[in-house]
Amino acid sequence: MNYQTHVLKNGLRLIHQKTDRQVAYCAIIINTGTRDELKNEHGLAHFLEHLVFKGTSKRRAYHIVSRMEDVGGEIDAYTTKEEICIYASFLSKYYDRTIELMSDMIFNSVYPEKEINKEREVILDEINSYFDSPAELIFDDFEELIFDGHSLGRNILGTKNTLKKFNSNSLKQFSHRTHNTDQIVLCSVGNIEFNKLVKSFEKYFNNVPANKREWKRPPFKNYIPQEKTVIKKTHQAHCIIGTTAYNFRNKKQLPFLLLTNLLGGSGLNSRLNLILREKNGLVYNVETSYTPYFDTGIFSIYFGCDKDKLNKSLLLIKKEIEKIKNIPLGKKQLQRAKQQMLGQIAISLENPENLLLGLGKSFLLFNKVDSIETVTSRLMKITSDDILKVANETFKDNKFSTLIYK
């Protein structure tokens, strides 16, 4: 993977991979998310992500969006539990325009009260839309169950009550505290020479005052498994079972990713899809997910089914979990699982936005990016015993939590 990097004196970092495509991709990733909010700030990270589009010291909301759209580009953003990201796609000749705009949005936003009042209503509508989508809402509620009482468990959107309290000062204080210059990366994938990109980066980011991070995230401890059933009066039953898992620095993360993919990944040949859908016709969709965080992680299995099929589905899932804990993968099974995962990674990296965000997040967290060859080498060294070990460490009988909507 041929990438180049540059670091400014204030700690801001740049990573770039040159391509020959006509369209370029650029993003700013900030190592700050919902978990970094104070108790009275629930939903403020996501609120800020919306408000950086609503006015800077030299632009109004219309001019921010038009700056990219006038030249056929697109700009958007998202918030997670641990990051805020602004990303754009554009013709390569508009690199300087894009970088200047991103710098302006991150460091010169003024958060006008008039726009705050309008955007508050937009986010309230976004919250209400989740209540109409139990298959999406259940994931947020499950994290709240797993990380009970900790900021990691907070819904990213916030609540109606907390949103009412936010104002311009709230946003300014949050951005000053959390937008630390040593925790921000500008990442790029596109057809531009690196020295030219560095000039734009220095031009628009060099004068940003250094604001190094001096605070630490409160770690999550003392996980207590829980079971909860919520009456939603939905046609289907929706269910998630899961537990805590490895953080993103743990060396066992890769074998656990392989295990997660084998059990219920995107392939139709996953163990849970075969047993629940193909063999027994119990569900339309079943999927596993694993999200590693700074200090912990979360593993979950989600499925939706007719309410009278819920208990049988749970029983079959538990049987598959026991199998993967006790029966080693055969040589051919393990090889197929590895090849499938390698193919999925390679296909994902063919998407330039996935490549962009992968570069940026890896550089942000580890200050390096592993090549596909390095990942392949590590993956191919995983043994059946490694799979058994991570399965037994994570899938302990008394560690699973369950959330059911019905």
Collapse the DSSP code of 323 into the 3-class scheme (helix H, G, I; strand E, B; otherwise coil) and give the result.
helix
Task: Give the pLDDT score at 199.
Answer: 98
Which pLDDT does position 87 carry in this prediction? 98
pLDDT of 373 reads 93
- Collapse the DSSP code of 169 into the 3-class scheme (helix H, G, I; strand E, B; otherwise coil) and give the result: helix
Residue 328 burial (CB count, 10 A): 13
Query: Is residue 261 domain-shared with residue 178, that is, in the same domain?
Result: no
pLDDT above 70 for 1: no
- Say if residues 226 and 121 touch (Cβ distance below 8 Å): no
- 313/239 Cα distance (integer angstroms): 10
**Are residues 173 and 255 both part of a single domain?**
no
Q: Sheet harboring 401-405: ordered strands across?
A: 227-230, 401-405, 236-245, 297-306, 283-292
Q: Are residues 172 and 266 in the same domain?
A: no
pLDDT above 90 for 235: no
378 and 268 share a domain? yes
Q: Look at 116-120, 181-185, 222-226, 265-269 and tell me which has the smallest mean pLDDT.
A: 265-269
Is there a domain that residue 357 lies in? yes
- Is the separation of the CB atoms in 186 and 99 below 8 Å? yes
Mean pLDDT, residues 1-13 taken together: 94
Residue 106 lies in a domain: yes
- Measuring CA to CA, how many Å separate 322 from each of 3, 82, 251, 325, 327? 43, 32, 23, 5, 8
CATH number of the domain residue 290 falls in: 3.30.830.10
Range of the domain at 190: 3-205
Residue 345 CA: distances (Å) to CA of 1, 266, 349? 14, 12, 6
Q: Are 189 and 24 contacting, i.e. CB atoms less than 8 angstroms apart?
A: yes
The reported pLDDT for the residue numbered 234 is: 84
Is residue 215 in a domain? Answer: no
Work out the average pLDDT over 318-324: 96
The percentage of residues in the chain with a pLDDT greater than 90, rounded to a whole number, is: 94
Cβ–Cβ < 8 Å for 244, 404: no
- What mean pLDDT comes out for the span 34-47? 96
> Which amino acid, 275?
I
In terms of domains, do 231 and 322 share one? yes
Q: What are 213's two structure tokens?
A: 């991070």
Residues 8 and 147 grouped into a single domain:
yes
Q: For residues 118-135, give the mean pLDDT.
A: 90
31 in any annotated domain: yes
Mean pLDDT of 2-10: 96
Residue 14 lies in a domain: yes
Q: Reply yes or no on whether the pLDDT at 348 is more than 70.
A: yes
Same domain, yes or no, for 265 and 168? no
Co-location of 196 and 81 in the same domain = yes
Asked if residue 306 and residue 199 are part of one domain, the reply reads no
- Count of the separate structural domains present in the chain: 2
| Burial class of residue 284 (count of CB atoms within 10 Å of its CB; 0-12, 13-18, 19+) | exposed
Tell me the average pLDDT across 131-158: 94
Lowest-confidence segment of 231-240, 320-329, 330-339 by average pLDDT: 231-240
Torsion of CA 377, 379, 380, 382, to 10 degrees: 130
In a domain, 173, yes or no: yes
d(CA 229, CA 49): 33
Angle between helices 95-107 and 61-69 (to 10 degrees): 160
End-of-domain residue from the set 170, 205, 240: 205
Say if 221 falls within a structural domain: no
Specify the length of the chain in residues: 406
CA distance 398 to 401: 9
Do the domain assignments include residue 68?
yes
User: How deeply is 332 buried, as exposed, middle or buried, from its count of CB atoms within 10 A (0-12, 13-18, 19+)?
Assistant: exposed
**Which pLDDT tens digit goes with each residue over 270-308?**
999 999 999 999 999 999 999 999 999 999 999 999 999
Q: Are residues 43 and 115 in the same domain?
A: yes
User: 246 pLDDT exceeds 80?
Assistant: yes
Q: Are residues 267 and 328 in the same domain?
A: yes
Co-location of 49 and 175 in the same domain: yes
User: What average pLDDT does the segment 58-80 reach?
Assistant: 96
CA dist 314 and 306 (Å) reads: 12
Q: Which two structure tokens, joined as six digits, stand for 266? A: 């995107």
Rounded CA-CA distance 149/151 in Å is: 7
| End position of a domain, from candidates 171, 205, 239 | 205
Q: How confident is residue 162, by pLDDT bands cut at 50, 70 and 90?
A: very high
321 near 299, Cβ under 8 Å?
A: no
Q: Output the pLDDT for position 397.
A: 83
Give the residue among 197, 184, 323 at the shortest CA–CA distance from 262.
323
